[in-house]
Amino acid sequence: MDKANVHSRLNRKGNTQIFKDDDYETTKEILTDLVPYLEKNKKIYDPFYCDGKVKEEWKELDYECYNEKEDAFNVEPPDFDYLISNIPFSLKKECVELAMKYDKPFMLLMPIDSMGSVWIGKYFDKLQFIIPKKRYNFYKKSNEKKSSAWFDTMWVCYKMNLPNKLIKLK
């Protein structure tokens, strides 16, 4: 496989890596919802690369973000304080497992119906959730703002010391 075309967003079937079209880039407006829960001067790691635009979005909010075109499941992460990512939704379980492995604060964006999934049950007592006030808009590879998602999302959080288990943004 041509290394230039490899994404970190992939679906694993046995020993085969099938690269899926899960690439929706997070906008500054989405990230702004998280800023009240983050400390300044902390490093953010987003292991799931799309077009790299998320680095620019975080920079506009005065945060440093490491986001490179690497297979997130097979690299050593950089030094970081928060793992924050709009994960590939086809790999929700694997992404939570990866983030839990690091045992550092994280915020992962995923469909809200994930909260009721069987696989999340073993982590549920350790997690907190932030529900956005509305459906998010995402960038697609062309960097044009896409219309609102047809599904609701939430931030699945760990070690973020949020004031409540569940926060509904207003």
Reported as a single tens digit per residue, the pLDDT across 108-118 is: 999 999 999 99
Which CA distances in Å does 139 have to 28, 106, 136, 148?
10, 22, 10, 10
Q: What distance in Å separates the CA atoms of residue 109 and residue 89, rounded to the nearest whole number? A: 9
Q: What is the pLDDT of residue 22?
A: 55
Query: Are 19 and 9 within 8 A, CB to CB?
Result: yes
Q: Hey, which residues does 127 pair with through a beta bridge? A: 158
pLDDT at 10 over 60: no
Radius of gyration of the chain (CA): 15
pTM of the model: 0.84
Mean pLDDT of 55-80: 95
pLDDT at 4 over 50: no
User: Between residues 139 and 57, which one has the greater pLDDT?
Assistant: 57
Mean pLDDT of 149-154: 83
Written as six digits, the tokens of 132 are 């956005």
pLDDT at 83 over 60: yes
Query: Are 84 and 55 within 8 A, CB to CB?
Result: no
Q: Give the chain's domains with CATH numbers.
A: 3-168 (3.40.50)
Under DSSP, the state recorded for 42 is -
Alpha helical stretches, state H, 5-162: 28-32, 53-60, 92-102
In percent, how much of the chain has pLDDT > 90?
69
